Each structure stands twice: as C-alpha cells, then as structure tokens.
Structure 1
C-alpha cells in the first residue's frame, strides 16, 4: 500500500485520482483518521491536510501524525504531495515537512519533482515552467498567499530545507532508471533532495521506475500517476465508484483563479440561479449564510444553483484592502461552510466545490471524514463517495474546462 500525505484538500483528490487511473483503488481521508476507519481494501490511502500555508511547526506536526498512521496501516512507501507550482514561502512548508519525514523514515536522499506535463507543469535544467512560461513569470508570481518569484527549484528548496538539493539533468533521465539510481547513490551524504528534469509523461515514468523501492518520494500528481503505471496496476471491475452520482446538487465557489471565474461566467451565461456572498455588505458569516439560504429557499424547482464569493482581481483587491486578506478569507470561508450545512439540511446530496480553501470549508462543515475516489468529472477532478450518502466534487481553482461547474451539477436542485 502507498500512503500519501497531501498538503491541501484539492491536491489530495488530484493525487488520488492519478493513482486511480492506473487501476489502484484509492481512498481520501480529510485529516488523519483512526486506523480502524480506513478501508482495508485500498491500494492507496491519501490523507488530506490543510497544511500548505499554516505555521511550519504545525504543518510538520500534522504531517508526522499522518505519516505515523499510514505506516501503522502498512504503507511501504510514503508520498508527500505538494502543488505542481511548488506553492510555498521561504519558510516552508514543503522543506520543513520533508525534512521531518526524512528523519522519520531514516532515508538520506529524496527524489522529488513538481512536474505534471498534462497540466502544463514541466521542469528543465532545474527550472519549473507553467504552460511553457517560467514559474516566476506566470500568474503565480502574484499569488496572494504564496507568491512565486523564483523558478529555480534548488534555490526554492534550499531556502526552506536542510541538506541541500541538486538537479538530475534531462540527459540522465533519458538514459533510464538505472542512470537516475546512480545519481541517487552518488548524492548520499552530499545532497538530500534531487530534482530530476521531466518534460513529458515518459520522463515521469522513468523517474517512477527509479524510485520504486524508495521509502519516501515527493511531488505533484504527475509523478504519483507514473508510480501507479510503473507498478503495472490493472483496471478494476466496474463498481458504483465508476458512475457519476445523482441527487440534488449545488455549486459552491470561492476560488478567484482565472479558470474558476470563467466557469462561473458560464453558469451565469446559462442563466442558472446564482447568489454572491458579499463580505463588504456584511462581515458576519452567519448573516451572509442565512441570506444565501433564504434566497435558496425562495427558488422554484429547477437546475442546480451557484452560491459563490469568487471575484475578479480588481474587486478582490478592494475587498482585501478594506477587510484585510486574512479577515476577508475567514469571513467567506465560514459563510460557505454554513451554507453547505444548510443545503445538506435541505436535501442537497451532491456538492460541487471550487477552490482549495472552499473545498476544505465544505468538507469540514459537512463533517466528511473521507470517502472512495470515483469517476472524474474533469481531468484531476474526481467525485468522492462518502459514507454519509453525500457525494462531493472538490475542484482546484485552475482545474477543469470552462463548462465544468455546469456539467458536474446537471440535474435538479
């Protein structure tokens, strides 16, 4: 069994479905579960934390707790999942968490890559590219929480981790798994983290073959999927997990990414019922949530509605300037959580959530502990079937085609 520690909720679903595509049965658990709560028939257990931007010490403590549980469940390889844009600050949390995991499993070299070519993330000469543009020149440059102003993976890692890092060049990767393993052996005692170049899925497969026996690997969903392919997993028989769920649906969106804004625009163009949570109208989450639920109660039977707090950059800046970045986020996340509770109480069983923080708020508010990963509504965006008769789709802000929110919520409200 492979045990995965993911630093946010949507990253957890992304990595889980990457394994699932290769025929491995995957479960996602939100927060560290009791071992008795985990399905014993799983090939991959993913523990979703919200540790990407919290204090480094807290991130380390949560990640170590998850690692201990996964090892107790029998995980023979740990995989630390971080974002394919290496979202972090100079203080962490990728480096501190990996340093702690290195000590736990008592290894001395970790192979890691954020490359995920299918999502436009590639690495070459140790630099990370986003859709063929350097990370530092992409939209991540101005991310409100983790602005990425450097594209050199070794500089980013060395600023926050111990032991030093080095690049494994593309010329080595193309020579095959044995060549990468020789680099690993040569690095022992000199460098702790190795970043092999990966421009294609074929490169990732070579890397995955090279790390098959390693106790700890790290990266984005791209390498995870390659590890599944390297294990030669066969497709499983068709089950309920292979069908899109039915039931009353609602869309909850909080991401302000360009793609989510496009998806919201498609919902509005389709004249679906929509209500915006406006933190400038009130800074009381309870008031905002109740206003949204009163609006929902007045809707006639029809298509699934959208309740959202997402804003384009200029309007987002106005809100953050008046309320503060952290305060405005807290207000809207709390409101979204209360809305999710209210919708569940009104009979909604299918929740489409857009944005990592939004997804975390929805999962927490609904008390969802975990579920089995099902069919994808879009690449990297699977349905999760929970044991509470609820189905959730947790979408990373930048994922999915423009019509995803529409198509995933088809059916009556």
Structure 2
C-alpha cells in the first residue's frame, strides 16, 4: 500500500464527509473510514470519523487515541485534526485536549488553529470568531444546546482546554506570506505560545496558511483550509491527477432523519412538511418510539419521501433536557433515529438524508458501513456518499446548522444522479 499524504480525524461525521468531499473536489483520492481496522489502498488521504465533540473528555481522548493508532498504522505524512468552523466545544474540551494528544503523538512543536470557513461567512479576526459578520457570542450559536459559544475570543476558549500557551497569528502577518507565517510561529513557540489562533478572512488567507503548513507533521482546522492542500500535493509531485470515479445514483425510496435542533434544521423540516409527511417523536413519550416510527413509515414510503424527527422548538428542547440531561437527550434521540435508519434500510430505502453531525455518526455506525465513498464537494454542510455493502444506499450527512430551507428535497433529488 502506498503511503497517503494526509490522515485526518474529524470530531463528527458530517465534518468528516465534508472534509473528504473537499479533498475529492481538489482531485485527491480520499477514503472515509468508520471501521478503524480498515486499511484502504491507493489513496492520497484518509479521513476517520469519530464522535468526540460532545463526549466527556476522557471518552473523547479514548476515541481520539484509537483513531491516531489507526492512522499511524496507515502511515500518512501529515496528521490533521478537523473540528467545526464555529469551534464547537466547552471549557472541558474537546479541541484543546485532543490537540495536545495530536501534538505529542506527531512530535509537532507547534500547532495552528484555523476554524474559519469564509464561504459560509465564518471568519476570525484578532482571534475573535465571527459568523456572517456578527461576533459569535451575539449569534444563534450562543444558544446551542450542547456547545454554546458565549466567548468570542478563541484564545480564551482554547486556553481553558489546554495547559499549553495560546497566542495569535495576526492577519497582517498572513498578508506577508507563508514564510512570514512560519517565522511568526517559530518566534511565538520560542516565547511559550506553541498554539496559535489564525486570523482568517478570505480564501486567499486559507491558501497562504496551507502553503505555510503543508509539510508540518500536524495541523488543525476546518475543512476549508485542508481543501487547499491537494493542489500543493500535485504541484510537489506527491499525488497524481487521476479522474475521480463517481458515486452511484439511486432512485429508490427516500427518507429524512433529523436529530439536530438547530434553527436551520427546524426550518428545513417545516418546508419539507409543506409537501411531504413528517413524524415528530417526543423523547419524553413512553413505549418503543423507533417501532412506532417504522410502523408509521410503512404505509407512507410507497408514496414518496418521508421525514422522521426528534427535533422540537427550543422551549420544548429545554424541557426535555431538564428531564433527561443535555447529553442524555441527545444520545436518546440518536439511538432512536439509528434504530429507525436500520429499519428503513431493511425496508428498501436507498436514499437517506440525516440532519445533524452526532445523529449522522449514530446512523452510520448502526448501519455498519466500514468505509464510505464520498462524492466531490456539493456545498457547505451537504456531504453526499454511497456504499454497496452490506446494502446499496446513498446518504446525505448534513450539518444541522447549514443548508437552505429546501435542503431535504434538494438532497434527495441530488442522490438520484451519480456525482
């Protein structure tokens, strides 16, 4: 097996799909693994999806360690830690603690943190995070039920998650080019700040950061900075330009499973319901909710796509979380929707849209897919992929916070065509 150039760990499944899709769009042969024992051959990049974002720190570190072990067995030249563009985390983790482990295992003297995603309006300036021009602590992200972002200064946010010094890579330095970035990082590391938050406002900034870090043992950030690497690899002869084999199109029965409680997902459910049936499951209800959902689906699937969701308006979500706990409510929703996904697949569903990163991870694991074939990038938060075994099915693993109002219909239609 040839040695991959790049090995990444993503802290949720939608992020992993997005990263693999962006690498594929750049011409890289990327494999997305969900089985850590898999050893893909003839690939340029390997992406491993874990579900560490909202786990307790000790659980997250266990998952991250297992993923690092798998990557070290595969042997990529560079290790990459992919997290959400909005730096979703808490004071306990799980970005700083996992970055510490990454740096130690990779022998990296310093790390850059580049979450920005200018394409969707997520930028960093003076170390502060902005979402569509609004500082993150004033945006809807402050109300996130699992990872509320109430502190806009990413230096402070990261500093609460690691004992290593955290500093800033200012925008003015990035404007001076890749060599200036490298020099600044070396100087700040020597002064006790090996972790630097990278100001990033434009796609050009991402390209400069990629030029400065492509040969580092380890790097961290969102998928947008990693998307700049494939052209560098080709230019330096590390990869070959080959046609990308498309994912298969499917025209069978379709369904949507929505576990995210993000405002965008609630709107997407409402738009879908204007033309298609939607079942809302109450997490506080008694009985076999997954079985009830599948019974409801049986008579409706022949008539076209359906949606089954555990998402509720914010007031009801708060009530459920008060009863079950924040993580308890999330895990119950994921478990129910994962059971529903298995039942839908057994009923012949070939097109499945899953809204929510944690929900996507639970569904993929329940379906038992060791490796996903990812289509080239379609747009922010909309990752298309397919598998043939143990059963043929196309998936859209969608970020709960992204996508337009008609995202569900659009994704189901896109899955009918090869990509």
For Structure 1 versus Structure 2, the TM-score category normalised by the shorter chain is over 0.9
Q: Deviations over 1:54-111 (max 9, x none)?
A: 1212222221221222122120000000111111111211111111111111121112
Q: Is the 8 A contact 1:371 1:387 kept in 2?
A: no
Report the secondary structure of 1:260's partner residue.
Answer: helix
> Which region of structure 1 is more displaced relative to structure 2, 226-235 or 331-340?
226-235
* Native 8 Å contact 1:109 1:187 kept in 2: no
Q: How does 1:93-112 map to 2 (within 5 A)?
A: 93-112=94-113
Change in Cα spacing, 1:300 to 1:350, as seen in structure 2 (3 Å) is: closer
Equivalent of residue 260 in structure 2, options 246, 255, 265: 255
State the secondary structure of the residue aligned to 2:32: strand
TM-score, structure 2 as length reference: 0.91
The answer (yes or no) to whether the contact 1:204–1:222 under 8 Å persists in 2 is: yes
Question: Could you give the per-residue CA deviations for residues 5-56 of structure 1, whole angstroms, max 9, x where no partner exists?
Answer: 11111111121112122111212112x521xx23212211110000111121
The structural deviation recorded for 1:162 is 2.3
Q: Distance in 2 between matches of 1:326 and 1:57?
A: 15
Asked whether the 8 Å contact 1:92–1:160 carries over to 2, the reply is: yes
1:7-406 correspondence runs (5 A) = 7-30=11-34, 32-34=35-37, 37-189=38-190, 190-232=192-234, 236-241=242-247, 244-270=249-275, 272-282=276-286, 284=287, 287-299=288-300, 301-388=302-389, 389-406=392-409
Q: Secondary structure of the equivalent of 2:303? A: coil
Does the aligned pair in 2 maintain the 1:252–1:353 contact within 8 Å?
yes
Partners of 2:256 and 2:241 in 1: CA distance: 31
> Structure 2: how far apart are the matches of 1:192 and 1:238?
38
Cα distance change on mapping 1:327 and 1:196 into 2, 3 Å: closer
Give the deviation of 1:341 after TM superposition: 1.1
Deviation per residue, 1:278-301 (Å, 9 max, x gap): 22332x4xx111111111112262
Aligned-residue offset at 1:235: 6.2
Deviation at 1:375, TM superposition (A): 4.2
Is the CA contact 2:22–2:376 (under 8 Å) kept in the aligned structure 1? no
CA RMSD of aligned residues (A): 1.9
Counterparts of 1:382 and 1:209, CA distance in 2: 26
Runs of 4 or more consecutive aligned structure 1 residues displaced over 6 Å after TM superposition: none
2:405 and 2:320 map into 1 onto residues whose CA distance is 25
- Secondary structure of the corresponding residue to residue 116 of structure 2: coil
Structure 2 residue runs of 5 or longer lacking an equivalent are none
Match of 2:6 in 1: 2
